[in-house]
Structure 1
Amino acid sequence: MPDARRRIPRTDVLLRDLRLLDAADRIGPERVKSAVRQAQQQAREGIVKPEGVVDAAIALLPRTVSGLQPVINATGVLLHTNLGRAPLSAAARRAVQEAAGPTDVELDLETGTRARRGRTALAALCARVQAAAAVHVVNNGAAALVLAATALAVGKEIVVSRGEMVEIGDGFRLPDLLVSTGARLREVGTTNRTTAEDYARAIGPETAFILKVHPSNFRITGFTRAAAVAELAPLGVPVVADIGSGLPAPHPLLPEEPDARTQLEAGAALVTASGDKLLGGPQCGLVLGREDLVRTMARHPLARALRVDKMTLAALEATLTGPPTPTEQALGADPGELYRRAERLAGMVRADGIDAQAVRSRATVGGGGAPGVTLPSAALSLPEPYAAALRRGRVPVVGRLDGGRCLLDLAAVPADDDQRLTEAVRSVRAEER
């Protein structure tokens, strides 16, 4: 019998396969060559047949150009921090692609002279929050607050309630961030009760501004009191309101969530927020408010280090001017339609012998938005082992465990992804066989 190893195709022959040529264009020729060599070695060791080397090489290729893998968010958390918070709209994704090459980000094409960076995105933000006299954009919400403290309060005092000295995640604490800028914190009130009089007694010649922080990732209930921006605005110093989740205007489903328009109309001198939460845009930090304060921040040397790139500006503008974002659509989803989708999906996979049920569930906003608020939703209920298997699938699906079952909540899953979700579940069943 001839040695089967002699039938292993040469590397140059394999690399002419159309599927591998396409992969080389997508992820680079060196990665493809490496996968081909590994597949050839598997053939030499008898792990794969010589005629299966191309398929083996393709299976060894990384799924994406970068290490980041697209996933289906079936957790029931609309803005899941570990999954990148708000998914971009189709309009924002197209804007990112268009901005990837050379653009007029700082050039006036009419005159050929330098222009204001991101002018159209800033104009769109002003139009969206008309209560703001001026706006600025930095690379995340924490950066917006750090820039405010650095530009306005170095060597001075920031008056803040003890009940609003929050930890924003991953061990980063608001007091540490602010003190790192060179500002001093003047704590007032208690954990559960702080009045306008507490702030008034603390204000003095060294006061730069009052900081009002929305405790976005926890709730204190019972014997509580917090001074509103409208109570603090007349005290004679600027009020900076950090609303966190970036809601531009009141939302009927989130009546207790602070929004930029209301805070500015109540007298806040500045509002800082994140762009990748309830606004539904890319990661960025929004600064909105008084023109003199925004200008001071925008011209501070630190602003250069915190500025956003052209693709973020493009995505932000498309988010502000384009159709409803996936986040807006998820917030406004009809619970009845979600349940009907879950029933359809359950019926489809049950036909393959999978123990699947449609169940009603509760979703949350997440990302530090609307703590304690739940939204009616529906989910596909599967056996518990499916949770781990789906995460490791070719198209990773991230669900949640509840009562010994794997729930794939549809609140944050676009209907367009139902087919991919079904195929992912079926692939787990196929592997079980």
Structure 2
Amino acid sequence: MNPQATDAPRLDPRRAVPRTDAVLRDPRLREAAARLGEAPVKSAVRQAQERARQGAVPPGAVADTALALLPRTAGGLRAVLNATGVLLHTNLGRAPLSAAARQAVAEAAGPTDVELDLRTGVRARRGRTALAALRDRVPSAAAAHVVNNGAAALVLAATALAAGRDIVVSRGEMVEIGDGFRLPDLLVATGARLREVGTTNRTTPDDYAAALDDRTAFVLKVHPSNFRVTGFTRAADVTELAPLGVPVVVDIGSGLLAPHPLLPDEPDAETALRAGAALVTASGDKLLGGPQCGLLLGTRDIVRTLARHPLARALRVDKLTLAALEATLTGPATPTDEALTADPARLRQRAERLAHALAADGVDAHAVDSEATVGGGGAPGVTLPSAALSLPERYAAALRVGADPVVGRLTAGRCLLDLRTVPEPDDERLAAAVRSAPESAAGSASVSAAGSASASASASAGR
């Protein structure tokens, strides 16, 4: 018998886990509580204590573990690196805001002169400087108005101009977009009646002309957005419809304000208005690269009618959106424009450099050619040459749930991280996320990759 043996019971290791009040005295956690609130900090501490009781972390690391579990902000949304190759990924919030727009939002977060003329001290028009910037970007627009999204822009137009009257629209433009959203349902809900003309693949100016009568409010042209009709087709353009004697409303969808050399088939606001459109509607968070909002550009009388309609109040945007929109319109190139115009050769160089660095750390990484898309319903069928990091498929799930989430896409059994949608300054951030993923990647193969494939291989075209 060992003379040093004792019958004294061993100390339960769970008793070494520090008490909650002791952990909360850590100055780092006190700072986090001031920033995030006490509830999330206490929740993180309880989770860390439970991990210590299970032996997953040492009792002395409870505070560090709790800090690692805390979110970066008090909000529930998490910043994500978009490596899908879809520039305007609907599930990831579409257009990322520029640095100028983010700064403008921060400046506008407190009290602002959103509806006050500081010189006179009297009430001023809401969003006046943002609307002026929008008109400057689209010279053919006599007036402009902004609502909270692209669908709202059409709702306001239909309600204010066509309630109880007819909207003439081609059968080929009665579209359904993302998440089962159908344009005809939206328009009918406003109290307007739809007068369908032509066929799915061919609608001529004569088809429109034959449908016009004293009940017609306007002719509507809708960009097909997320699909193309090819072959034996015919579509009347604005120049053919403008002389018919009723207003022509054009929904260009993706928010391109002027022609873009890389997207010759994408409709834009300036061209439509010059061709004779009375009103153009569009989204602000697509090719414009701004915040979610709906743009209305057109004649002074029509835009005034829309802005003064009672529904306009319910659809108006807040000061943060106005600030971000103005900075987008007046500031430097947006991340969307930079991604759209990125040099494929430079993208390949970045991919090779990252692959080489990661391979040196033992990661199965390769640089491969890739194809990116615009997304968000913009430029359907257009692909953009790109380059990507190719990783084993199991990385897809591990990167999504990492401390710094990365969303890629699955192609031929590999996880591709497309660099056209990753700003170059974020390359090291991307590499760090990949390096930290292998510890969980080995166990993530059982995690379904279907979510990654559906969320990242394509973008919803919803407006």
**TM-score bin (small chain):** over 0.9
Match of 2:237 in 1: 228
Matched, 1:360 2:363: no
Mapped contact 2:188–2:194 kept (Cα < 8 A): yes
What's the CA shift string for 1:290-316, capped at 9, x where partnerless? 000000000000000000000000000
Counterparts of 1:14-53 in structure 2, within 5 Å, are 14-53=23-62
Moved more, 301-310 or 28-37: 28-37
Q: Distance in 2 between matches of 1:414 and 1:280?
A: 14
**Compared CA separation, residues 267 and 396, structure 1 to 2 (3 A):** same
Equivalent residues in 2 for 1:208-357, closer than 5 Å = 208-357=217-366
Tell me the TM-score normalised to structure 2 length: 0.91
Q: CA deviation at 1:355?
A: 1.4
Q: Distance in 2 between matches of 1:283 and 1:187?
A: 30
Distance 2:242 2:426 in 1: 47
Aligned with 1:376 (options 385, 392, 403): 385
Q: Does 1:59 align with 2:68?
A: yes
Distance 1:348 1:259 in 2: 42
Report the equivalent of 2:445.
none
| Contact 2:397/2:441, CA 8 A, preserved across alignment | no
How far is the alpha carbon of 1:45 from its aligned partner? 5.0
Q: Which amino acid aligns with 1:180?
A: A
Q: Give the structure 2 partner of residue 160 of structure 1.
A: 169
* 1:52, distance to aligned residue in structure 2 (A): 1.4
Cα distance in 1, alignment partners of residues 186 and 375 from structure 2: 22
Distance 2:396 2:69 in 1: 24
The gaps in structure 1 that reach 5 residues or longer are: none
User: C-alpha deviations, 1:187-242, integer Å up to 9, x for none?
Assistant: 00000000000000000000000000000100000000000000000000000000
1:4, CA displacement in angstroms? 4.5
Q: CA deviation at 1:31?
A: 1.2
SS in 1 for 2:281: strand
Pair 1:174 & 2:187 matched: no
The one-letter amino acid of 1:361's match is S
Alpha-carbon distance in structure 1 between the residues aligned to 2:182 and 2:91: 18
Structure 1 position 145 matched with structure 2 position 154 = yes
CA distance in 2, matches of 1:362, 1:24: 44
Partner of 1:426: 435
Give the deviation of 1:25 after TM superposition: 2.6
1:96-135 matched pairs, under 5 angstroms? 96-135=105-144
2:381 maps to amino acid = G
Unpaired segments ≥5 residues, structure 2: 1-9, 443-463
1:393 aligns with 2:425: no
Q: 1:41 to 1:354 in 2, by over 3 A?
A: closer
Matched, 1:186 2:195: yes
Q: Equivalent residue for 1:203?
A: 212
Q: Percent identity?
A: 77
Q: CA deviation at 1:58?
A: 2.0
| Residue identity matched to 1:345 | L
Number of paired residues?
A: 433
Q: 2: CA distance between counterparts of 1:398 and 1:245? A: 23
Hey, what's the Cα distance between the residues in 2 that align with 1:404 and 1:35?
36
| CA distance in structure 2 between the partners assigned to 1:72 and 1:432 by the alignment | 18
Which amino acid is 1:77 matched to?
A: V
Q: TM-score, normalised by structure 1?
A: 0.97
Q: Please list, as runs of the form range in 1=range in 2, the aligned pairs for 1:410-421 lying within 5 A after superposition.
A: 410-421=419-430
Residue 409, structure 1, aligned to residue 429, structure 2: no
C-alpha distance in 1 between matches for 2:42 and 2:402: 24
Q: CA deviation at 1:24?
A: 1.4
Moved more, 129-138 or 7-16: 7-16
Give the Cα–Cα distance (whole angstroms) in 2 for the partners of residues 95 and 335 of structure 1.
31
Change (3 A) 1:267 1:62: same
**Equivalents in 2 of 1:78, 1:247: separation in Å?**
14
Correspondent of 1:95 among 87, 101, 104: 104
Query: What is the identity, as a one-letter code, of the residue corresponding to 1:287?
Result: L
Distance in 1 between residues matched to 2:99 and 2:415, nearest whole Å:
29
Match of 2:80 in 1: 71
Moved more, 20-29 or 282-291: 20-29
Deviations 1:263-319 (A, max 9, x none): 000000000000000000000000000000000000000000000000000000000
Tell me the amino acid that sits aligned with residue 172 of structure 1: F
